Amino acid sequence: MLYLHFGDEREEGYWLKCFKQQAPGLQVVTAKDKLAPEAVKWVGVWNPKPNFFKAFPNLQGVFALSAGVDALVARDDLPSSLPIMRLLDAGMAQQMIDYLLWVALTLQGDFDLYLQRQKQKNWQPELSKNPTKPRVGILGLGTLGIKVAQKFSQLGYSVSGWKRTAAFVEGVEVLVGDEGFVNLLKKTDLLVNLLPNTAATNKILNKANLEKLPQGASLVNIGRGQQLVDKDLISLLDTQHLRLAVLDVFSTEPLPENHPFWAHSQVIITPHIAAYTLPELAVEQVVNNLKRLAKGEKPTGLVDSTLGY
């Protein structure tokens, strides 16, 4: 039996429909069903409350209905021996590509500057159009990062990517290690954070690192808010070392009303919407993984608890 928790009844209703369509024989329940928690073997979750997992004594595994699993890995109500499976892409890569194209085109067309000038009722065209595309640097070449990197490369952008281990990605310069990280920063005009949030990447977007970007570079954070040191970003924007920050994730969500990001003219905020999980595709992965697990095979998206993703 799979217990589904999304924290929103309407949303859960839609997921239940997808499960019914794709796996009519699978018993899927939600909080509404009030069934014995001992019968629950698997849970599919997004953002469960503290101690949520304590209710299920016979749990065999957790399906994260997300790409990021940092919040699950950090919990103290889940034994570390319990397998966690995360979603791979599930429709998110294309949405991230669209989001990042919007940012790249904003910079290329100077639309960020015109939005700022509009607020000042300032009719001031730039002298010319930007002759070149921004050089894109992607931190994190996982399932999503690779797809983003390849698409931008195909569209004629110069793309570098940083990952923990060496890899070949067609059309993309892959950099590894501390030296690779600095090299990437030094030649990036548009830095995209897609790293998993782990002890190794927490606060990685700090002053010492961000100031290695060339003057006038911009940042997009679609990873996790905990990876960014907010005040360091603000000071680099204020000194104009950085031009624009487009932020979709924050260390506290919703972003508190009194946070300086809200009113900063060089910050664009979106409310953690860069990519939605598409239930149809996510359910397909969960159902396939349940089949794999039943056959004793390795599921996809299995989280390595030592790496934290």
Question: Does 67 sit near ligand GLV (CB under 6 A)?
Answer: yes
Instruction: Report in angstroms the alpha-carbon separations of 156 from 10, 153, 217, 227.
Output: 41, 5, 19, 29
Is 10 one of the catalytic residues? no
**Catalytic residue (choose from 75, 259, 272, 292):** 272
Alpha-carbon torsion, ordered 176, 181, 184, 186, to 10 deg: -150
- Stretch near ligand GLV under the rule CB under 6 A, chosen from 32-40, 64-72, 173-181, 206-214: 64-72
Which residue number, 157 or 250, has a Cβ lying nearer to ligand GLV? 250
Residues in the chain: 309
Q: Could you tell me the two tokens for 65?
A: 């209905």
Phi first, then psi: give them for residue 160, nearest 5 degrees.
-120, 150
Minimum Å gap between C-beta 115 and ligand GLV is 26
Tell me which stretch binds ligand GLV (CB under 6 A): 65-73, 144-152, 213-221, 301-309: 65-73
Least separation in angstroms between residue 249's CB and ligand GLV is 7
Task: Decide if residue 106 touches ligand GLV (CB under 6 A).
Answer: no
Run of H or E residues at 138: strand 136-139
How many residues contact ligand GLV, by CB under 6 A?
Answer: 4
Total Cβ atoms within 10 A of residue 270: 13
Query: Is residue 85 near ligand GLV by the rule CB under 6 A?
Result: no
Kindly indicate which of the ranges 32-40, 48-56, 63-71, 97-105 contains the residues binding ligand GLV, using the contact rule CB under 6 A. 63-71
How does strand 42-45 pair with strand 28-29? unpaired
State whether residue 115 is helix, strand or coil.
helix
Minimum separation from the CB atom of position 26 to ligand GLV (A): 22
CB of 261 to ligand GLV, least distance (A): 18
- Position 66 contacts ligand GLV (CB under 6 A): yes
Q: Which one of the listed residues 224, 243, 259, 264 is annotated catalytic?
A: 224
Shortest distance, CB of residue 147 to ligand GLV, whole angstroms? 14
- Is 145 near ligand GLV (CB under 6 A)? no
Active-site annotation holds for 272: yes
Of the CA atoms within 13 Å of residue 9, those in its CB half-sphere come to 3
Prior bond of 260 cis (ω within 30°): no
> CB of 198 within 8 A of CB of 70?
yes
- Binding region for ligand GLV (CB under 6 A) out of 47-55, 66-74, 99-107, 113-121: 66-74
Tokens of 135: 């050089």
> Nearest-5° angle of CA 186, CA 189, CA 195?
80
Point out the residues that are catalytic: 224, 272
Chain residues binding ligand GLV by CB under 6 A are 66-68, 277
